[in-house]
Amino acid sequence: DWNIEDFITNKVSEIKDVVKDQHVILGLSGGVDSTVCAALLHKAIGNQLVCIFVDTGLLRKHEAIEVLKNYEVFKDLNIIKVDAKEQFYQALKGVKDPEEKRKIIGRVFFEVFEQEKEKHNYASFLAQGTIYPDVIESLSTNGGKTTIKSHHNVGGLPKQSTFKILEPLRELFKDEVRKVGFELNLDETLVNRHPFPGPGLGVRILGEIDESRVKILQEADDVFITLLRKHQLYEKVSQAFCVLLPVKSVGVMGDNRTYENVLAIRSVDTTDFMTATFSRLPFEFLEEVATTIINKVEGINRVVYDITSKPPGTIEWE
């Protein structure tokens, strides 16, 4: 049987033993996994930890500001923001294949951490908030024939990397990570945030990514999430987001024909994120979301609701 206090005590001593007097870089995303990972490492090694928040250019609207604000409560946690937008956009230019996108994003994250290394006492460790489902879904199933999807932070370091990896949450499920977070006195708003994948909007813009599509998706997603909060639905669903499709459809606005992008909205209920059902959101609410998005967000003239559960769908579309 799993005991939270024992888990924390054991991990803290394990981390101390492994790290000794060296320094650790942690990729902090603002999500629950990396936040709990930060809290655990901080408890173990204090200021030998430096957290790096990477602005990938694939974040949600206001994400960078909100995330950093959320961490203001941790007075003595070292957090550094790195703007790597151009690096990500450049590397993703022209790429359409979902797995290829995921691999590129994973690689650029490592490159950014390598670039930061020398500024932070040549940290020898790279810590990541990888959890158990990330590991299994990235590994191959049915005898090694297929990977479901390569999580951006799984699959090991590039060959030339000099980091050693620390993944203290690797055996945990999401609900267990949250329990550890509460036990470490983390704030409810941090612990109960919906998950946001490391590759961010990169796997929610199907097909090729460019800055103008990022902007469209950021605006639409902001409308959806704001309305969920306004109607007290945000806490009721496990994860909600928008997906920008590489498809255009015909519409009519006023007296004019439109020919614009289709947006899918997705909301799921789950505890472990290994299986999920689509949220039974009220039709009136969905209607308000669709109307508001189409009126406010230039570039979208049709909104559809994803009613696929997992399996057979995955939560993200790529």
Distance in Å, CB of 268 to ligand XMP, minimum: 8
| 271 assigned ligand-binding residue | no
Around 255, how many Cα atoms within 13 Å sit in the side-chain half-sphere? 0
With contact defined as beta carbons under 8 Å apart, do 216 and 300 qualify? yes
Q: Which is nearer to ligand XMP, 45 or 201 (CB)?
A: 201
**194 or 215: whose CB is closer to ligand XMP?**
194
Angle between helix 174-183 and 32-45 (nearest 10): 40
Q: Residue 140, annotated ligand binder?
A: no
Ligand-binding annotation for 29, yes or no, is yes
Q: Any binding-site annotation on 33? A: yes
What is the number of other CB atoms lying within 10 angstroms of the CB of residue 158?
Answer: 12
Residue entry with tokens 């790290």: 19
Residue pair 82/55 in contact by the 8 Å Cβ criterion: yes
Nearer to ligand XMP, 71 or 198 (CB): 198
What are the Cα distances from residue 250, in Å, to 193, 262, 292, 294? 36, 10, 18, 13
Contacts of 197 (CB under 8 A, 6+ apart): 151, 152, 203, 316
For the bound state, the minimum distance from the C-beta of residue 198 to ligand XMP, rounded and expressed in Å, comes to 4
For residue 146, say whether it is annotated as part of any ligand binding site: no
* Least Cβ distance, residue 102 to ligand XMP (angstroms): 6
CB of 294 to ligand XMP, least distance (A): 25
Q: What is each CA distance from 263 to 62, 76, 89, 101, in whole angstroms?
A: 20, 41, 22, 20
Pick between residue 231 and residue 310 the one whose CB is nearest to ligand XMP.
Answer: 310
Residue 51: CB minimum distance to ligand XMP, A: 16
Amino acid 230 reads K
The site for ligand XMP (CB under 6 A) is made up of 102, 137, 149, 151-153, 195, 197-199, 239, 273, 310, 314-316
Does 9 carry a binding-site annotation? Answer: no
Least Å from the CB of residue 210 to ligand XMP: 21
In three-state secondary structure terms, 107 is: helix
Q: Give the nearest distance from C-beta 195 to ligand XMP in angstroms.
A: 4
Instruction: For residue 34, say whether it is annotated as part of any ligand binding site.
Output: yes
Residue (of 38, 15, 10) closest to 190 by Cα position:
38
Nearest to ligand XMP of 45, 206 (CB atom):
206
3-class SS at 234? coil
Rounded Cα–Cα distance for residues 152 and 199 (Å):
6
- Give CA–CA dist 170/164, Å, rounded: 15
Binding-site residue positions for ATP: 29-35
Binding-site residue positions: 29-35
